[in-house]
Chains A and B, each alone.
Chain A
Amino acid sequence: MDSGRSRREVRARRLPTAVKIVVAGGFGVGKTTMVGTVSETQPLRTEELLTDESVGVDDMAGVERKKTTTVAMDFGRITMRDDYVLYLFGTPGQERFWFMWDEVALGALGAVVLADTRRLSDCFPSVDYFERRSTPFVVAVNCFEGARSYELEEIQLALNLGPKVPVMLCDARELGSCKQVLIDLVLHAMKSRGVTETPQSV
């Protein structure tokens, strides 16, 4: 029995705070791979059950969609010192689950938009989404074998990104590569939120 740990002792322990980073991009671009590469545990999957109750519309005439659907999201965990836990969420790939993105993106530290140069337009919706929400994001081009390599400037231009949005190459299967993307994202998020080394005087 581990009841030697008394109730009071457990209560005295301060719970860590969780932060999350969203990994978005088109279907099959490597979101789940990236989440799995950096996650300390086997990535888990959460499912949201959708019923007609989720649709905020009272006039259902002609749209009798009383089906129940599930949306799956993959996510992984990285435990940090200093009382923080980082969670990585892969967004649901299908566009009809846009509304789920709000829940995932709410309170996110930032987002990684994964892109595949063979299907660059697949990441347009993600770029639009985070631009509209003002969520700090970086674009990481997953280097698939057989894909033509482009200059990063070309991709920046093709995606019509502002010069402030970092674009980088990555390999979603490589830990070192994913780490660098995430570190660059956190630095970018700090910069875009105006967080600097010197603490603001209150």
Chain B
Amino acid sequence: MMPPEEHPLDPWRDEPPPAVPAPRPPVQDPRLLDENAGPMVRPYVMTSGRIEPTRGRFDLITLVMAEGPEPEGAIGLGPEHLSIIRLCQSVLSVAEITGRLDLPVATVRVLLGDLFDKGFVSMQEPEPEADMHDIRLYKAVIDGLRAL
């Protein structure tokens, strides 16, 4: 156990020192993924160890829709990629995909980045806070709430 002494460089005080960017592991050939690893696959295995999507920010409410039906025998797509394409036959948010697949948000983001990169899904980012001056947005939301 650590002695309870005051550390002169207490990392929890004031602003933390600049974060060291995590080293990006080399992108492996996704075909090398072991597909028969069973249900106990760790989230980072599904992303080949990657922690950030190759493209896109993928906010929790970014809307995603598949560009077509689930492809057959697509090279480079894992079972989780295919599950996302199946789910996104109708418009879903990143948060909903996460909830339905029971996967961590970070994992879903990486998988969505792959799918977006390969043209399997299209997406719509939400309006940034600074652009919330459109009366139509407020009217639509109020009308929608009244109609509940």
Interface residues of A (CB under 8 A from B): 1-3, 7, 10-11, 13, 15-20, 38, 44-49, 53, 56-63, 70, 73, 75, 77-87, 89, 103-104, 106-109, 175, 179, 182-183, 186-187, 189-190, 193-197, 199-200
Contact = CB atoms under 8 A, between A and B. Distances in A.
Contact of B63 (A80, A85, A104): A85
Interface in B100-132: 100, 102, 104-107, 122-124, 126-129, 132
16 contacts: A10-B67, A11-B122, A16-B63, A19-B61, A19-B127, A19-B137, A20-B60, A46-B99, A49-B106, A56-B18, A59-B11, A61-B11, A63-B12, A78-B148, A80-B141, A82-B140
A187 B142 CA distance: 8
Interface of B: 2, 7, 9, 11-12, 16-20, 22, 43, 51, 59-63, 65-69, 89, 91, 93, 95-96, 98-100, 102, 104-107, 122-124, 126-129, 132-138, 140-148
A48 B105 contact: yes
Contact of B138 (A45, A87, A186): A186
A81 B143 contact: yes
Nearest to A84: B140
Contact of B148 (A109, A179, A195): A179
Contacts of A197: 135
Nearest to A49: B104
Given A11-B67, A46-B60, A46-B95, A57 B137 contact: no
A61 B19 contact: no
